Structure 1
Amino acid sequence: MSRESISQSISIVHPISLSHGKNAEVWDTSGKRYIDFVGGIGVLNLGHCHPSVVEAIREQATRLTHYAFNAAPHAPYIELMKRLTAFIPVSYPVSGMLTNSGAEAAENALKIARGATGRTAVIAFDGGFHGRTLATLNLNGKVAPYKQKVGVLPGTVYHLPYPSADNGVTCDDAINAMERLFSVEIDVNDVACFIVEPVQGEAGFLALDSQFAKALRRLCDEHGILLIADEIQSGFGRTGQRFAFSRLGIEPDLILLGKSIAGGVPLGAVVGRRALMDTLPKGGLGGTYSGNPIACAAALATLDVMTDAHLQAWGEQQEAAIVRRHAVWKSKKISAYLGRLTGVGAMRGIELLLADGTPGSAQLSQLLSLARDAGLLLMPSGKSRHIVRLLAPLTIEPEVLEEGLDILEACLRTLD
């Protein structure tokens, strides 16, 4: 199929054309079936075409396909925000706004942080990914390919090492770097916010050190700095809980949402402390398509399905299967390149390494191709694209999950 009309600056992981999907399976236009461990890059925690989501979309499309909430409020937006804010597991009153995407949620969170603090500086983390818009590019802790050839980026942003048991950066390492930053680069009282992923996605599913998270929360409280948790990929059950920040024993001030919020329909949100969300003047937040009625209906159906019991059961089932299989693969030494398992819950990565401990980037590229030929779609991650990102739907049937892991095992065994 010709792609001449599509920008060649868009990178394609899998050069196929998909036709349709059901839960954790997709088919291309030639009829070939694949098991989907990509899930639209974390968008499909409930799988492809979940019946409840499809029915909600169909029903809403017969009533109201669009209205700009700024012009005239509509019921789906109001109901979703009521349900969504109740879904956020924090102790304080919550309000928020809907956006078109996670990147737009991040952009609006920056505006809110500026309005609430009167400051402009932001601190993000190495390896982080928060979007592809100009402001979020500046937040990203990685240059290639996101920041290349785009020139000067807006805002004042500093980066710190991301402490995680998955990357060898300790809590003390990050705290020492932060102390140096405030001693040499910027006055702590000029910082508006920290933005951090509780589990980094693009970097290879690295889980934030909980001791550092608590220290960061204390520092923010002491200096009037906002703490923004980016839960765009880690949220809505990916780690077995509603949101990954709960594992850290902290409450952020603002939370970024997206990806699996609406079962595959474009939607995002920024939610947080009610007083912060009301900081900007009327008209300071909003957007033409933000909170589209069909997207809201899909999100409401998603929340209906995402009970705590479901999230826990799905997360534990998938985590147990992946951890068990990885342990077996390591014990049997099925591949000289098989490295550690990263992440938490059902948000897992598998590292490929060479004998000298350097990233197995070429081997991961080979693995993606081998697995695709065998009927399994995988997603790369990590600074060196050497970590397999496992994002199968939480609703995947156990036998389909095992089939996918069987294919992955067979492909690992044949790596050169």
Structure 2
Amino acid sequence: MDNLDYRLPQRRHLTTGPTEPGPKGEELQARLEASVPRSVTPLWPRYIAEADGGVLVDVDGNSLIDLGSGIAVTTVGAANPAVVDAVGQAAAKFTHTCFMVSPYESYIEVAERLGELTPGDFEKRTALFNSGAEAVENAVKIARSYTGRNGVAVLDCAYHGRTNLTMAMTAKNMPYKSGFGPFASEVYRVPTSYPLRDGLSGPAAAQRTISVLEQQIGAGNLACLVVEPVQGEGGFVVPAPGYLRELARWCREHGVVFVADEIQSGLCRTGAWFACEQEGVEPDLVTIAKGVAGGLPLSAVTGRAEIMDAPHPGGLGGTYGGNPVACAAALAALTEMERLHLSSRAREIEAVVREVLGPLVSVAGAGETRQGETGQGEANPGRGGVAELRGRGGMMALEFVDANSAPSAELTSAVARRCRDAGVLVLTCGMDGNVVRLLPPLVIGEDLLREGLGVLADAIRAEVSLG
């Protein structure tokens, strides 16, 4: 991995105790508790003052290793100079006009760039929004308008957002859905491919999914099938090879719009511009968000021109969708992804992760995992620990099990807590809460990455030895 230039020192340094914030952090924590509802209480009481490259610096001067990227957002860094400069120049000209009322060039430029970067050599159109959930909702609206059908199919373990429709599409109840219903209708859940748990080949898993689609829903009732090429909150699950191709083929045969939700997996994150490219799939529609604008709120739906043009004029849009400052940030961020070869860098990150953490699958006693280009793992049962290391590029995960090879959220939480206490931010996910996910900024330096992974490895060894 090439060395990059950074504004802040790329080092881990703790100035306060490992488990408690310093005096400034404590003051902010008290203010938070007095003004912010508990439903949005942060995971980690470290209040960030600056960020750059692979570090987060809090208000008490602690320099922390970031292996979360704001949930895959700060792909090009949290203070990328090109993005910062583009934002400043755009804001100095105008901060808002509403594209639907008085348009501007940067929106069109973003649409053109995304049309070029998304898979498929066909005519495309792009509509811009604010968040990933908005992109998914609008993809559904577009598919329904195009097909004249209502049904929406999603996969087990899916995560698509927190709005009413996307909560219906999301599988995990807590914390995303509990107590917030009733949800939107005409959303159907079908089996997914989860190689560690189901042991099925891609074609076999696809046939299981297709059978449910045909027998329980009916192709003639479906507007779209929405899939994450690599599942996010559901556990960073990489489907078995061939699974997505079979689903896309079935959708084409039956006039069902195939939507790739690339909100977390897209934009170089998995070692390609979009994860579906690695499966040889050209989606009808792609939803894009998170890393697209270097940290500013922007999302998109990009897809086949005839599908995107189906809704009537004025049917899509919103006051802030495609904000000019966010569009300027996106153009800079996309250019930085190209200039810094971040797809290649993501693959280098994956190689380091596998080198450092791969042996822990065997050390933990849960079997030895052999990994290949597909991102799949082969795991054998053991006394408990790491069941599998999986993922692609800068989107990697460890799944933890107990002594009976059952999912262990307790072990996962303990490992994540040890990392955070040592100044390394890692996130968890999975339907059973038993997966540690790694989403480092793709501009992180190799030395810092290795240090953070070393802390994670030590945490795993410590917790497994306690068991």
**Is the pair's TM-score, using the shorter chain for normalization, greater than 0.5?**
yes
Structure 2 portions without partners, runs of 5+: 1-28, 367-383
CA–CA distance in structure 2, aligned partners of residues 75 and 380 of structure 1: 40
Relative to structure 1, the CA distance from residue 11 to residue 384 in structure 2 (aligned partners, 3 Å threshold; closer, same or farther) is: farther
Task: Write the mapping of 1:331-410 to structure 2, written as runs, cut at 5 A.
Answer: 331-333=362-364, 337-410=385-458
Task: Pick the aligned partner of 1:276 from 280, 300, 307.
Answer: 307
Q: Alpha-carbon deviation of 1:337?
A: 1.7
1:103 to 2:133 alignment = yes
Q: Alpha-carbon deviation of 1:277?
A: 0.8
Task: Write the mapping of 1:81-160 to structure 2, written as runs, cut at 5 A.
Answer: 81-160=111-190
Task: Pick the aligned partner of 1:6 from 20, 23, 36.
Answer: 36
Relative to structure 1, the CA distance from residue 169 to residue 130 in structure 2 (aligned partners, 3 Å threshold; closer, same or farther) is: farther
Q: Alpha-carbon deviation of 1:169?
A: 5.3
CA–CA distance in structure 2, aligned partners of residues 333 and 154 of structure 1: 43
CA–CA distance in structure 2, aligned partners of residues 334 and 37 of structure 1: 25
Secondary structure of residue in 2 paired with 1:200: coil
Task: Pick the aligned partner of 1:224 from 252, 255, 259.
Answer: 255
Residues 240 and 314, structure 1, Cα contact 8 Å, conserved in 2:
yes
CA–CA distance in structure 2, aligned partners of residues 358 and 83 of structure 1: 45
Secondary structure of residue in 2 paired with 1:368: helix
Greater displacement, 235-244 / 10-19: 10-19
Secondary structure of residue in 2 paired with 1:207: coil
CA–CA distance in structure 1, aligned partners of residues 144 and 456 of structure 2: 46
Supply the AA of the counterpart residue of 1:13: L
CA–CA distance in structure 1, aligned partners of residues 458 and 113 of structure 2: 44
Residues 353 and 386, structure 1, Cα contact 8 Å, conserved in 2:
yes
TM-score by length of 1: 0.96
Structure 1 portions without partners, runs of 5+: none
In structure 2, the residue matched to 1:240 is 271
Task: Write the mapping of 1:285-304 to structure 2, written as runs, cut at 5 A.
Answer: 285-304=316-335
1:23 to 2:53 alignment = yes
Residues 190 and 212, structure 2, Cα contact 8 Å, conserved in 1:
no
Secondary structure of residue in 1 paired with 2:198: coil
In structure 1, the residue matched to 2:372 is none
Secondary structure of residue in 2 paired with 1:83: helix
Question: How big is the alpha-carbon RMSD for the aligned residues of Structure 1 and Structure 2?
Answer: 1.7
Task: Pick the aligned partner of 2:95 from 42, 65, 75.
Answer: 65
Could you list the structure 1 runs, at least 4 aligned residues long, displaced by more than 6 angstroms after superposition: none
- Residues 101-157 of structure 1: per-residue CA shift (max 9 Å, x gap): 110000111110110000000110010101100001111122222221122211301
Supply the AA of the counterpart residue of 1:69: F
Q: Alpha-carbon deviation of 1:16?
A: 2.3
Secondary structure of residue in 2 paired with 1:128: coil
Greater displacement, 11-20 / 196-205: 11-20
Greater displacement, 316-325 / 363-372: 363-372
Residues 107 and 135, structure 1, Cα contact 8 Å, conserved in 2:
yes
Greater displacement, 47-56 / 13-22: 13-22
In structure 2, the residue matched to 1:320 is 351
Supply the AA of the counterpart residue of 2:208: N
Residues 230 and 275, structure 2, Cα contact 8 Å, conserved in 1:
yes
**Quick one: percent identity of the two aligned structures?**
38
CA–CA distance in structure 1, aligned partners of residues 192 and 212 of structure 2: 15
Residues 357 and 457, structure 2, Cα contact 8 Å, conserved in 1:
no
